[in-house]
Structures are given as structure tokens and as C-alpha cells.
Structure 1
Amino acid sequence: MRQLHARFYALFAIIAALLFSGCANVHYANDYKSGTDFNNLKTYSWRAVTVDIGGTDPALLERLADNQLAAQGFVRTHDKPDLLLDMQVFARQSKGGNSSIGIGIGMPIGRNGSVGLGTSQLLNRGKQEGVMLIDVTRASDNTLIWRGSAEGIPLIQFSLSAEQKLGATMAQLLGQFPPATAP
């Protein structure tokens, strides 16, 4: 009997983990100007950091990005940088999530049967999520050469106690720069 309970709890834990991980997926994407040679671009400077999520320090986001870029071999400078960076961080209504109507019918087995009508609605409808956009512009001709985005960031990651999670999100986003398929 104990083995049955242990298996039930293990199965329940696995299902719960899958459900919760499916709700908090951050989607990363990037795009770049084809034909751009990223090999000789090693220095950068910040042009603008705009944060529209209350309680989030733009200097923290800039520092997290600086740490990741330094780990990738980029150097921040104020004198004639190769690249200019812009970051926008904002909250928006989460994408997806629709409502539906469900109908359940129970077939009679023995003397008991049932018919039920009900509605269902996805739990994440109307939920807020964070979005982070980073634009990389070539300073010599002011041409946008790379854009990266992270969407679906849980807003709790923008709290002071979640700096490590926000750093991991920043690392994942900037880890895509420069693009691997660039010449």
C-alpha cells in the first residue's frame, strides 16, 4: 500500500512540475542584419535604458547586461564605441489564453449516470508578463544590426530578491549575440 502512495505522490509531483513549468516559459528570439561582420565589433556604450516596470532599477539591468557582455569578450567604453546599445523593458498583457465552453456527459453505468454543463477558462488569461528588448546599433553608420527579445518573463523576476533569475534571463538573451550564423 505504501508503494502505491509513493507512486501516486511521485506522479502527482511530476504532473505539477510540468504544469508549472509550462506556465513560466520565457520565449527568446533574435534577428540581425544579414551580411554584417560582427568579428571586429568589440566595444560598446549604452545609448538608452528604458524601464516601465515599477520598482525595477535600470542601473541593475545595465549592470547585468554589462556582466554578460564582458563574459562574452565585449568591452564597455565611452570613447568611440563600435556598438550602441538600447534596452527597453516593459510589462504587457500575456499573449495567448482564450476561453472555451466545455460540455461533459456521463454515460449511465448501473443505476447512476450524470450530465454536466460548465465553462472553462485558461488560468493565465489577463496575466501580466515582462518583455525585454535589446537593440544593437553599429555606431559608425547608426545602423541597427541586431535585436534580441525575451518575452513572457514573470514579473516576480523584476523584484530585488530575484536578481539571480533576472541575471539568468539576461545571460540567455545576450548569449544569442553575436549570432552564430554571421560571417
Structure 2
Amino acid sequence: MLRYLIDPANAITAMGVLFSAVAIHLALSGHLPLAVGVALWAMLADQLDGIVAGRLPNRAPEKAKMGKSLDGFADIIYGTIFPAIFIIEANSASLTSAIISAALLLAGVIRLSYFNNFGLSDDGRFLGIPLSYDVPLLGVLLLMQAHLAENFVLTLNIAFLALAALHVAPIRIPSPNKIMYGIIVLFSAGVSAALIIQSS
């Protein structure tokens, strides 16, 4: 099984899973800004693995098949499990956080199951908001935390309850182009650096 990780794209996906594991540990340890800073790198790995996979000449079909499955599990971890843990920690494991995290996990699983079976629409768009929006939203909310003050947790809860619905909503989102990928990289690296500095 491990030989499939020799493939560059699959190795990047696996690295993203490791970033997610570190982020989950940090969140459960109470280091929420730092956890999101690391989780952003898991999200970046998810963006990068597809680009690398598309540029690999003569990629073996079995490695591509393994990569597709691996990518889906990686998406679930950084895109739903990590944000759910963050929400539970931020809410001190309240009943509200249990409901929101359950909705987020269910929406994430449904969305990825749909995507794995049907892929992009005929016009190259995603159906529903991709899970890759979750961690960047956490980053933005954390950077705004000082301004939100006592409304931070309420804003977090409302935002992610809405996002859970949007993950499975019948709306079409364009897939990223080269410019958008560049913006994603710069945004994520910048927000990650800001959160890591904030945590020090």
C-alpha cells in the first residue's frame, strides 16, 4: 500500500493529512489560532496535489485511482473533521456545537460522496460550496476576533451552520483557474503566517 505514496501527487496528499493531524492536536490542546494556521497548509496541499497530478506524464492508472480515494479522505479530515473540532472547542463542547458539528460533518460527507460519483458539472463547475472554503473562513474569523469580541462564537456558529447548508445547496461554483490558485496560495500563506505570529 505504501508504495502508492511514491507518486508525487499522492505524497503531497499524505503530507496534507499529516498537517491535519497536527492541526487537530493543536485544537484539542487549546491552541486554536495556531491550529488553523497549520490546517491552512493541509488545505494548500489539497490544492497542490491536483495540479501536480495533472502534470505527471504517464501516471499509472492505479496510482491515480489510489490518489482519488486518498484525496477524498484528506478533504473530509481538513474540511469537516477539523472545523467540527474547532467549533466544539470554541463552544466548550456545548449542545449547540454538537448540532453544528454534526450538520457540518453530514454535509461534508454528502457533498464529497456526490462529487466522487458525479464530479464537476458539464460546464466545469462544482455543485455546492467546496469543503476547501471552511478552513480559510476560520482563519478570517480568527483575524477578526478582536473586533467581534464577545460575538465571536455566535458569529462562528452562524457562519458554519450556513456553510454546512451551502455545501449541499444547488448552487454552482466555478473551479479555480491559475489566477485563483495563486490567490489561494498567497491568501492561505499570509493568513497562516498572521495566525502563527498571533499565537507566539
Bigger fraction of residues in helix: 2
Bigger fraction of residues in strand: 1
Which of the five TM-score ranges fits, normalised by the shorter chain? under 0.3
TM-score by length of 2: 0.22
Q: Which has the larger radius of gyration?
A: 1
